[in-house]
Amino acid sequence: CHLIHYLRLSHHLIVLNYLICTFDKLKSVSSEDINITDAVFDGVEVRVFEPPAKGDERLKRSVVYIHGGGWALASARTSLYNNLCRIMAESLNAVVVSVEYRLVPEVCFPEQFHDALRATKHFLQPDVLAQYSVDPSRIAISGDSAGGNLAAAVCQQLSKDEHLTVRPKLQALIYPVLQAFDFNTPSYQQNMNMPVLPRYVMISYWIDYFNGNYELAHSLLINNHTALDVGQAHSFRGRLNWTSLLPSSFKKNYKPVIQTTGEAEIIQQIPALLDVRAVPLLAENETLQLQPKTYILTCENDVLRDDGVMYAKRLENAGVEVTLDHFHDCFHGCMIFTIWPTDFSAGVQTRNSYIKWLDENL
């Protein structure tokens, strides 16, 4: 993929996504008990999963789901996410709306955020909810990885929208990526070379999302963009102090990496590094206080572990009811790997725990 990109034949993410989708076509996932339809919500493609009506039941619960993939890969239509959303619809007897937001490199930040926000706001309209027989008081917003990032950012934006008549009851974030401020949290240091999502790959996803320059990767890796002399970062430093936000069992013996002198030009070139629509963990307390009841799933073998744990702590400090569901033996991305040949026990374990929480709280 990178050779094709180097030869300027195509962007490597386009090639990688093509390979993923080609492999995916070899798989077949049954959906005979769920009605699956494709629709367009305010210009954004979505896939809707509807379980059959049961008896005299009138209104159903609902989940708006935003898929992961580094804002660049996968799709609501791939079998992995199709299977997850189908099982959610069946298990919860809920209408699941899976958002097909546009991907890098076709678009970059903030377009993925805008797509997810537009589709969600469209669905939350009373007449649309009525069309799908959805209970307006029982709606969750959810997503995994980059989808968890978008779900958190959308939830924050919705909480500040004074014109909304319907708001989500819950948010459920699966190993979400929530900040690009510090690439040396304990989990980033501990799992820097962990398969599936090594640190350099996560930094590359951020650079692609922001349409930045790969030459900045090393400076980002050593936190030059948030050094003590970078004035734009000062006001955010207290919101991401992992020495106070993480429990000692996660901090272990790792030390903060805070450069005295860095490169303010990075923030000037990529201001989105401090834009809360891209990095929800940096939101102010006043916004966090408005968030709904929250579920956050984290995995020990994941560079993003501490993003989720810190967000849970900040929400809790802001008075939000939070469930932090941590899995010691699991890895980033595991929840979607439940179909042969990537059917892992970690995937079933995390998926069951996630669905159980939704069933008990939605």
Rounded CA-CA distance 150/298 in Å is: 16
Among the listed residues 67, 114, 225, 332, the single catalytic one is 332
DSSP 8-state class, residue 155: H
Beta-carbon contacts of residue 114 (< 8 Å; ≥ 6 apart): none
Specify whether the CB–CB gap between 205 and 325 falls below 8 A.
no
Q: Could you say which of 79, 98, 145, 204 is catalytic? A: 145
Residues 2 and 237: their CA atoms lie apart, in Å, by 35
Q: Are 259 and 228 in contact (CB under 8 A)?
A: yes
- In 3D, which of 89, 44, 87 has the Cα closest to residue 62? 89
- List Cα–Cα distances, 148 to 217, 222, 314, in angstroms: 23, 25, 16
Structure tokens at 265: 């030009």
State the DSSP code for 211: T
Concerning whether 127 is annotated as a catalytic residue, the answer is: no
Amino acid present at 172: A
What angle, rounded to 10 degrees, do the helices at 345-361 and 79-92 form?
Answer: 40
Joined together, the tokens standing for residue 69 give 């993939």
- Which pair of structure tokens corresponds to residue 237? 């430093």
| The pair of three-digit structure tokens given for residue 96, joined into one six-digit string | 């699941």
Residue 145 appears among annotated catalytic residues: yes
Annotated catalytic residue, options 24, 115, 182, 302: 302
C-alpha dist (Å) from residue 195 to 274, 332, 337: 28, 9, 14
Assess whether 38 carries a catalytic annotation: no
Q: Which two tokens stand for residue 189?
A: 């240091």
- Half-sphere CA count of 29, side-chain side, radius 13 A: 19
Instruction: Name the β-bridge partners of 150.
Output: none
Active site residues: 145, 302, 332
